[in-house]
Amino acid sequence: MPQMMPLNWISLMIMFILSFYLFNNLNYFNFLIKSKKNYFNSMKMKMYWKW
């Protein structure tokens, strides 16, 4: 029993991190899909921020 608690806590933390990572990836993919039309504009903005 004492060894089960840390494993459960670690597994919960891993699941939380994975869910957060997947959520961020979904937001990023949605952003890419929305900005696919404005791809060149975003590239211009990136060049502007580099300057």
Is there a contact between 42 and 35 (Cβ–Cβ < 8 Å)?
Answer: yes
pLDDT in tens, 1-51: 555 666 787 888 888 888 888 887 787 777 777 766 666 666 666 666 655
C-alpha 1/C-alpha 42 separation (Å) is 54
Does the pTM of the predicted model rise above 0.75?
no
d(C-alpha 50, C-alpha 39), whole Å: 17
What pLDDT score does 32 carry?
A: 73
**Number of domains composing the chain:** 1
- Residue 18's domain comprises 4-50
